[in-house]
């Protein structure tokens, strides 16, 4: 479960400017795909189309063989998890902030998600750095740590597919790589992962799609593409 098919997908925000022109690709269940390409090449748009923030204007997107334009938003939300760029945390400890991903989750489930996303060491801290257990003020959560909270929230929902848009991320490259490594570990062959990136931050993926001029200009495994520069 978690197969993604783009079949001749076309999309424009404004008439006359095609952002995606007959884009086709397949991601097999549990695989990782990285979307790369120059700024403005449509990486974020592909992510937005996948969770139906916009509808395609030509072609179709299938998830496990089902056309997503015919799936109810609620069911789509139940099998696609989107890790937001800017995570809003409320003034309670990180454990409760993670539980927000699925309110019915037990403490143990929340803690497992925190371990998987590598944020467990902050679980009793407040977003502003105050640790409720030891009553000490620590450091505020960094951007990377906030994103880890977002990832923990997402994995708590056990989606079939996780989407992450780092195309315009404010995080430094090393933090991005660390986050990718955690996510790749979490997803390991059972959750499909679609990530929009800067090429320089890619650590590994089953497939890389290079977008340019509204099309997929290159596709391949990352060793091949990195070798091409
Ligand atoms: P990338 O993620 O590769 O940087 P995007 O998918 O965000 O690219 O954007 C592709 C193109 O579509 C860019 O030229 C961008 O300016 C344009 N664009 C993105 N969002 C909108 C929007 N809501 N309305 C109009 N144009 C948009
Ligand atoms: P991101 O790539 O992370 O979505 P952007 O800075 O490209 O961030 O876009 C921020 C917001 O502005 C998004 O909601 C996007 O859809 C919208 N946007 C981007 N480019 C344009 C554009 N050319 N015209 C109108 N809205 C745009």
Going by CA atoms, what residue is nearest to atom 27 of ligand 2? 13
Question: End-to-end distance of the chain based on CA atoms, in angstroms?
Answer: 33
ipTM of the complex: 0.70
pLDDT tier at 225, thresholds 50, 70, 90 = low
For residues 8-31, average pLDDT? 96
pLDDT at 9 over 90: yes
Token pair listed for 69: 């334009």
Q: List pLDDT tens digits, range 124-154.
A: 998 887 776 666 677 778 888 999 999 999 9
At residue 7, does pLDDT exceed 80?
A: yes
pLDDT band at 24 (very low <50, low <70, confident <90, very high): very high
Residue 42 pLDDT greater than 80, yes or no? yes
Structure confidence at residue 197 as a pLDDT band (50, 70, 90)? confident
Residue 53 has pLDDT above 80, yes or no: yes
Decide if 102 contacts 95 (C-beta within 8 A). no
Average pLDDT of the segment spanning 57-66: 97
Model pLDDT for residues 150-181, shown as the tens digit of each residue = 999 999 999 999 999 887 777 888 888 888 88
| Ligand 2 pocket by Cβ (under 6 Å) | 44, 85, 167-168
Alpha carbon of 45 to ligand 2 centroid (Å): 9
| Whether 170 contacts 147, CB under 8 Å | no
Q: Which residues of 94-108 are buried (b: 16+ CB within 10 A; e: fewer)?
A: bbebbbbbbeebeee
Is residue 206 pLDDT above 70, yes or no?
yes
**Residue 222 pLDDT greater than 70, yes or no:** no
Say if CB 95 and CB 110 are below 8 A apart.
yes
Instruction: State the pTM of this model.
Output: 0.85
Give CA–CA dist 32/29, Å, rounded.
9
Instruction: From 44, 49, 55, give the residue whose CB has the most ligand 1 atoms within 8 Å, as the site to mutate.
Output: 44
pLDDT confidence of residue 134: 66
Q: 222 versus 100: which is more confidently predicted?
A: 100
User: Which ligand has the shortest distance to the CA of 213?
Assistant: 1
Average pLDDT in the chain = 89
Place of tokens 């699925």: 102
Nearest to 156 by CA among 75, 78, 86: 78
Going by alpha carbons, the residue nearest to atom 15 of ligand 1 is 40
């Amino acid at each position: 479960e978690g197969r993604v098919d783009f079949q001749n997908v076309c999309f424009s925000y404004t008439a006359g400017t095609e952002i995606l022109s007959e884009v086709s690709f397949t991601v097999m269940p549990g695989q990782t795909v990285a979307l790369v390409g120059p700024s403005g090449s449509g990486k974020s748009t592909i992510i937005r189309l996948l969770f139906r923030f916009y509808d395609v204007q030509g072609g179709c997107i299938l998830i496990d063989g089902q056309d997503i334009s015919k799936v109810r938003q609620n069911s789509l939300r139940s099998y696609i998890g989107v890790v937001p760029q800017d995570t809003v945390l409320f003034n309670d400890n990180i454990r409760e902030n993670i539980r927000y991903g699925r309110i019915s989750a037990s403490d143990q489930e929340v803690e497992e998600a925190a371990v998987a996303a590598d944020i467990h060491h902050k679980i009793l801290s407040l977003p502003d750095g105050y640790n409720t257990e030891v009553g000490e003020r620590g450091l505020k959560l960094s951007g990377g740590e906030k994103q880890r909270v977002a990832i923990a929230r997402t994995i708590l929902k056990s989606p079939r597919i996780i989407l992450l848009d780092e195309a315009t991320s404010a995080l430094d490259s090393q933090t991005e790589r660390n986050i990718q490594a955690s996510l790749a570990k979490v997803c390991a062959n059972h959750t499909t992962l679609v990530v929009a990136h800067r090429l320089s931050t890619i650590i590994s993926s089953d497939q890389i799609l290079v977008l340019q001029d509204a099309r997929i200009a290159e596709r391949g495994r990352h060793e091949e593409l990195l070798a091409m520069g």
